[in-house]
Amino acid sequence: MNQNDMIQRLITAGQEHLAAHYDTLSAAEQETFLRQLASLDLTLPAYAVGENNNTRGTFSPLQAVTAEEAREDRAFHEALGLAAIRRGEVAAVLLAGGQGTRLGYDAPKGFFNVGITREMSLFSLHFANIARHAAAAGRSIPFLIMTSKFNHEQTADFLRQHEYFGYPAEDVILFPQEMAVCTDFEGKILLARRGVIAESPNGNGGWFGSIEKAGLLPELQRRGVKWLNVFSVDNALQQIADPGFIGAVLAKGCESGAKVVAKADPDERVGILCLEDGRPSIVEYYEATEEMRTLRDANGSLQYRYGVILNYLFSMERLPAVRDVRLPVHRAAKKIPYMDANGEIVTPTEPNGYKYETLALDMVRLQSNCLPYEVLREKEFAPIKNKEGADSPVTARALLEGAGFVL
């Protein structure tokens, strides 16, 4: 992008204030600025004002493979799943590009030590888990890890230093996700400092686009990968490339699957997997209507009872077809440090603007079908989101100990 293109682009996007700032930069700073600008999506600030692009349809409940059914069919499903892994058809995608602001932990979340008497990072648990399923199948599973510009080098160094926890290095593939601009509440793009636009990772919905941008699709095709198991870094009991889950999705002939837990109570803060206009869909807890939260069936069970735990299986065949569909953009009010008009760096104590994200859960709406696969939270769901209270290191450690881990 040259200077004239840049100015035109900024004017079209209503961001002329950045062009004025550009004139104050040295030639080298201008070059860096142009490069950063070219990598960013300037249509996002429009979501600061008005509605987002997330209009909803009519919802109805969706039945899951219950934990009991999964247990009964486990041997059959596992055999199917292990055979798919053995054929090289399954890869895992760990989403580790988040900033973990609620946990307030300085390093990337995967470094977080859940051990008490020994070192046990979240990354070490994930590597041990995928290695176990790879060993059962007798074939290594490609392990993709999404980082962000903010934690890529640190993550790469950490994994190298730990020698990938014994996993084959050639099967560990790191790729950085794309970034998104940060704006004030009117949608004006903020500067982090002189010559640098304030930006944040573009949300976990960016994973497939980022795989493609990193040039990894041909590599996955070359390896014959047909299924991607996508999951979050912050569940200490995460089951990766679980052959039972993979086998169930294959046995039912579905094009995607989602691990779910039965909601502990109507107000639990998990996204609900259901149908929307007859297609699979996930409704965030804050978007659920009163009826969705509380409606019960004749047995007294919640009708919308399955919450997602950010562990999905997607078919590689389907993903390219949906990649050009714009996912809903979610804006979140945050405290964003910025450079003011006098060139001073301001560190706000209250939210002063928006970060913009797309979410992996919205990809489920683009699938023709999605198999909800119920798992038991005491075996598979120990999220670490907050510093204390619910979903914190304390609750996760208790769940790990309950599952037999010696911490």
Query: Which parts of this chain interact with ligand UTP (CB under 6 A)?
Result: 95-102, 109, 146, 177, 201-204, 232-234, 310, 357, 385
Nearer to ligand UTP, 84 or 233 (CB): 233
CB of 291 to ligand UTP, least distance (A): 26
CB of 342 to ligand UTP, least distance (A): 30
Nearer to ligand UTP, 78 or 178 (CB): 178
Q: CA angle, 281 as apex, 275 and 282 as ends, to 5°?
A: 120
CB of 311 to ligand UTP, least distance (A): 11
Using CB atoms, what's the residue nearest to ligand UTP?
A: 98
- Asked if residue 313 lies in contact with residue 228, where contact means CB atoms within 8 angstroms, the answer is yes
Alpha helices in 183-242 (DSSP H): 207-213, 217-222
CB of 107 to ligand UTP, least distance (A): 12
Q: What CA–CA distances, in Å, run from 70 to 115, 218, 244, 376?
A: 30, 34, 8, 11
Cα-based torsion angle of the residue sequence 41, 47, 51, 55 in order, rounded to the nearest 10 degrees: 20
Q: What are the residues whose beta carbons fall under 8 Å from the beta carbon of 351, sequence distance 6 or more?
A: 333, 334, 335, 336
Number of neighbouring beta carbons within 10 Å of residue 350: 6
- Asked if residue 17 lies in contact with residue 188, where contact means CB atoms within 8 angstroms, the answer is yes
Q: Rounded to an integer, what distance in angstroms lies between the CA atom of residue 339 and that of residue 331? A: 21
Nearer to ligand UTP, 193 or 387 (CB): 387
Nearer to ligand UTP, 177 or 281 (CB): 177
Nearer to ligand UTP, 248 or 270 (CB): 270
Nearer to ligand UTP, 141 or 233 (CB): 233
DSSP state of 137: H
CB of 102 to ligand UTP, least distance (A): 3
Nearer to ligand UTP, 71 or 335 (CB): 335
Q: CA angle, 210 as apex, 206 and 216 as ends, to 5°?
A: 145
CB of 355 to ligand UTP, least distance (A): 9
CB of 193 to ligand UTP, least distance (A): 21
Give the E-state strand segments of 18-162 in sequence order: 59-60, 90-95, 143-147
Question: What spatial distance separates the first Cα and last Cα of the chain, rounded to whole Å?
Answer: 53
CB of 14 to ligand UTP, least distance (A): 25
Nearer to ligand UTP, 91 or 250 (CB): 91
Q: Rounded to an integer, what distance in angstroms lies between the CA atom of residue 40 and that of residue 199? A: 9
